[in-house]
Amino acid sequence: MRVIAGQARGTRLGPVPDGTRPVSDRAREGVFSSLGPAVRGASVLDLFAGTGAMGIEALSRGAERAVFVDSSAQAIRTIRANLARTGLEANASLRRARAAPVLRHAGPFDLVLMDPPYALPGPEVDALLTEIAGQGVVSPGGTVVLTRPQKGYKPVIPLNLALERRLSYGDTAVLIFKVPEQQ
């Protein structure tokens, strides 16, 4: 895995922690190409951060700050090492915690990146989406990116999120939601 573009372009990231399924380079490139200039200056929340690759890509492309959240101590160590490797640690903070409790005290963010384990049941993912949509976690006009397995998951989309795009990369589906400017 490597950083695709921006300030840390080409930097190889460290080994993937056991039990982590990172978003592929190709899928990350597609996501950030779709987001375009909206990343520059953004505040980012990377939930289920794993290696930190998604949030690091955002920082490399000019995001103002990123908060990385993962419940695994090994993942937090990997993210910390990857931030040091890329020189992007000054604009990052790490939280070892489960996603749901963090959402109750987070925000607002311009961009939320969610890459939950594929084994996380759909209703739990839907509950997190609902919490994100209803808690002021995302700024008006902000974006939520969700990765899920290509087959078998149909999200229940909260009323104040609009599905803007669906991208496919191998066994990964990437859903990009937009929060309306006026809520």
> Do 72 and 17 touch, CB atoms closer than 8 A?
yes
Weakest mean pLDDT among 41-45, 60-64, 79-83, 149-153? 149-153
Measured from the Cβ of residue 157, the count of other Cβ atoms closer than 10 Å reads: 15
Give residue 38's identity as a one-letter amino acid code. A
> Does residue 133 have a pLDDT over 70?
yes
Quickly tell me which residue has 């090994």 as its tokens.
74
pLDDT, the chain, mean: 91
Instruction: State CA 68 to chain mean position distance.
Output: 9
Q: What is the pLDDT of residue 88?
A: 96
Question: Looking at residues 18-41, what average pLDDT do you find?
Answer: 88
List C-alpha distances in Å: 6 to 3, 56, 90.
Answer: 8, 10, 16
Query: What's domain 25-178's architecture?
Result: 3-Layer(aba) Sandwich (3.40)
Q: What is the pLDDT of residue 106?
A: 81
Q: What is the pLDDT of residue 183?
A: 53
Helix 53-60 and helix 73-86: axis angle, to 10°?
A: 20
List the chain domain ranges.
25-178
Question: Looking at residues 13-33, what average pLDDT do you find?
Answer: 86
Residue-wise pLDDT tens digits, 84-104 = 999 999 999 999 999 999 998
Provide the terminal-to-terminal Cα distance of the chain, rounded to the nearest Å: 38
List C-alpha distances in Å: 146 to 20, 73, 97, 127.
Answer: 16, 23, 19, 13
How sure is the predictor about 74, in pLDDT bands with cuts at 50, 70 and 90?
very high
Weakest mean pLDDT among 1-5, 50-54, 178-182? 178-182
d(CA 31, CA 82): 20
